Structure 1
Amino acid sequence: MRSFGVEEEMLLVDPGSGAAVALAEAVTGGADDAPVAELQREQVETDTAPCATLDELAGQLRARRRAAANAAGRENCQVVALATSPLAVRPSTTPTERYRWMVEEYALTAHEQLTCGCHVHVGVESEDEGVAVLDRIRVWLPVLLAMTANSPFWQGCDSGYASYRQRVWGRWPSAGPTEPFGTPKVYHETVQAMIDSGVLLDEGMIYFDARLSRHYPTVEIRVADVCTASGDAVLLAALVRALVETAAREWRAGDPPLPVRAELLRMASWRASRSGLEGELVHPVMLRPVPAREAVRALLDHVTPVLTELGDHDAAVDLTGRLLDRGNGATGQRRTYGRTGDLSAVVHAAVEQTLRD
């Protein structure tokens, strides 16, 4: 059973107005279990330890969220798992040398980059296996983006997208899908060439949708928006782990990756960020438009044997059914706004849901 863990980026907001507030240094400077700072002072990040089961992961996610909420509460603010701020905000950069360099080099791209993602780490046995996994899961990642899309609002307006975070994040020069690498040698040569170009500061700025972790024996899947409902984050992690194990088995069996170019994957990701679970997605195998439910079902079918072996199948089916019935985070945010006409109410509802079991 492969270990897995989750990193969640979250916004810091004012309890009254719901506006993002620049209090990350104060919130992250307390207890050992406090969250850590990120690029912008209006956000923090939490992470779980490596877990073996969905129940263990769910418990750790809730505990990390509560710890972050407690740390924020001590500074008279709140944490909320939203991928962008519904209310207008002028982000302020965390004052470190690295982040200052990024702001100087990337200008408005860095200034505006207040987005929150959910990253899933899954253990791999070697870099050979890790690269083989990256090459084989790439076609499925847009479906995960659609399922987790949670950023319809940008600077006080409806963007028209389910995941506008994906559009903003895509401005980084290294972000997005990749071509198959084939071997760790090609992967590392590609990364080094990107750094040697002078466009990137270091390997930490390799923002592929999925990459080899720099610090752990894992692959890191970075395509998802942060999920307001912790159950959606658990579902994401379950599907990612099953995708990784399925891909590793395909590699060991000698099955090649699907020959899909990165240009087509960029279009599939655009479609997922635009439509979310409402409307159509690009089918991961047929590469034709299909109803979103059909694309999600294809993903579930693809990983069902592994989910079943791990004992995660029933939970994944149940969580997927709930997600499809109520909609993703973007649908929920728009539903609250349609009922109230108030973006502050959208934030307040998400704050409550962030800490709900």
Structure 2
Amino acid sequence: MLRTVGVEEEFLLVDPVSGLPRAVGQAVLASNGAKEAGEEVTEELHLEQIETGTKPCHGLNELGAQLRSARATAAGAALDVGVALAPLATSPLPVEPTVSPSRRYAEMARRFGLTTYEQLTCGCHVHVAIDSAEEGVAALDRIRPWLAPLQALSTNSPFWAGEDSGYAGYRAQVWQRWPSAGPYAPFGSAAGYQAFVDSLLATDTLLDEGMVYLDARLSRWHPTVEVRVADVCLDADDAVLVAALVRALVQTAVDAWKAGREPDPVRTEVLRLAAWRAGRSGVTGELLHPLSWRPAPAAEVLDALVGHVAQALEEAGDLLTVRGLLKAVLARGTGAQRQRSVLNRTGDLAAVVRDATTHP
């Protein structure tokens, strides 16, 4: 039976002319457009951003339609209060973010200081349905090597505080400041996963289980594996591609688990290097190849990813679509490449932001 897949996307709220982020999240959520959308549009850590979410979907066409609908709804709600919606994973322009007024966020700010205040980043989180926690942990253990290529594919955050960061995906560098973020070691079982979570909470460092910010985790609220490595994508098609690959990775991992195949024992430190390289160059340089852990051209690594999950993609009816979407993004470039292209053409970071607000 085909697993359902859903996507959560975070967006910046920006002035449509200056491109500066605006702290109007609560006003956007109070607008008629957001109220009509219900749970489709929700608040985030900072008032300069909001989040959208799709329902669980079976087909990629359905998912793409829901992603575009959610983006259009959120953009309309933003327009109601005079701002624009920007699918950018970091703000190209300098900003002093405003923590949303809630008891939980206030406590995060107290505990984590500048890390909380500067954490204006926008990600794309993919949820894939699982039958049990045991199955979910088996998937978590086996998808680890392939998460960095997904990160590279989605890179859309080259600028930070008004400067070119030198990275295609700088969001990951900011996100890694959280003490519970990043790659992880295999858990072995659902009990092992829960023991790990309990050990983190026992340190009294994190507020709650929601702050277990691993690259992938079991969702607290849904029977899903949640993969969190991707930047919010400039193009909705790229989010569909990431989601299709995540679903296929989960299915491939579960099939391997049922067949008795053990996960790759690659060390977490190597995965951290792989993630760093993915964020540094995106799809324009070399990534660490999960079959050798040696550098290889990004296109070669991404082709290997599709090969790794080809059977699952074929069974879902997604293989031709994924190959087409991957060919398209490699030809035109990721959001990071588009942002730099606009800056090279205009010399204006505000123009980069304005360009992003036009993407469906």
TM-score normalized by structure 2? 0.98
**Aligned pairs (5 A) from 1:151-300:** 151-300=157-306
Deviating 4+ runs (over 2 angstroms): none
The residue aligned with 1:71 is 77
The residue aligned with 1:32 is 36
In 2: Cα distance, 1:105 partner to 1:309 partner: 47
Write the letter of the residue equivalent to 2:211. M
In 1: Cα distance, 2:28 partner to 2:176 partner: 28
In 2: Cα distance, 1:70 partner to 1:294 partner: 40
Write the letter of the residue equivalent to 1:214. R
1:314 aligns with 2:320: yes
| Count of aligned pairs between the two proteins | 354
Q: Indicate the SS of the match to 2:185.
A: coil
In 2: Cα distance, 1:50 partner to 1:309 partner: 18
Shift of residue 297 of structure 1?
A: 0.7
In 2: Cα distance, 1:164 partner to 1:279 partner: 15
Q: Deviations over 1:27-86 (max 9, x none)?
A: 012323162110000000000000010011001001100110110010000111100000
Q: Indicate the SS of the match to 2:284.
A: coil
Structure 2 unmatched ranges of 5 or more: none
The residue aligned with 1:22 is 23
In 2: Cα distance, 1:53 partner to 1:278 partner: 30
Write the letter of the residue equivalent to 2:10. E
Shift of residue 306 of structure 1?
A: 1.1
In 1: Cα distance, 2:285 partner to 2:58 partner: 35
1:60 aligns with 2:61: no
Q: Indicate the SS of the match to 1:120.
A: strand
Q: Indicate the SS of the match to 2:310.
A: helix
The residue aligned with 2:353 is 347
Q: Indicate the SS of the match to 1:323.
A: helix
In 2: Cα distance, 1:181 partner to 1:42 partner: 36
The residue aligned with 2:123 is 117
Q: Deviations over 1:304-357 (max 9, x none)?
A: 11111111111100000000011111011001100110001111111101x2xx
The residue aligned with 1:323 is 329
2:106 to 96, 100, 109: 100
Q: Indicate the SS of the match to 2:358.
A: helix
Shift of residue 12 of structure 1?
A: 0.1
In 2: Cα distance, 1:100 partner to 1:197 partner: 20
Tell me the C-alpha RMSD between the 2 structures.
0.7
Q: Deviations over 1:66-118 (max 9, x none)?
A: 11011001000011110000011000000101000011110111110000000
Q: Indicate the SS of the match to 2:131.
A: coil
The residue aligned with 1:9 is 10
Shift of residue 217 of structure 1?
A: 0.6
Q: Indicate the SS of the match to 1:211.
A: strand
In 2: Cα distance, 1:80 partner to 1:125 partner: 35
In 2: Cα distance, 1:299 partner to 1:169 partner: 24
Q: Deviations over 1:252-307 (max 9, x none)?
A: 00000011010000000000000111110000121000011111011010011111
1:150 aligns with 2:151: no
Q: Deviations over 1:170-199 (max 9, x none)?
A: 000000010000011110111011011011
Q: Indicate the SS of the match to 1:222.
A: strand
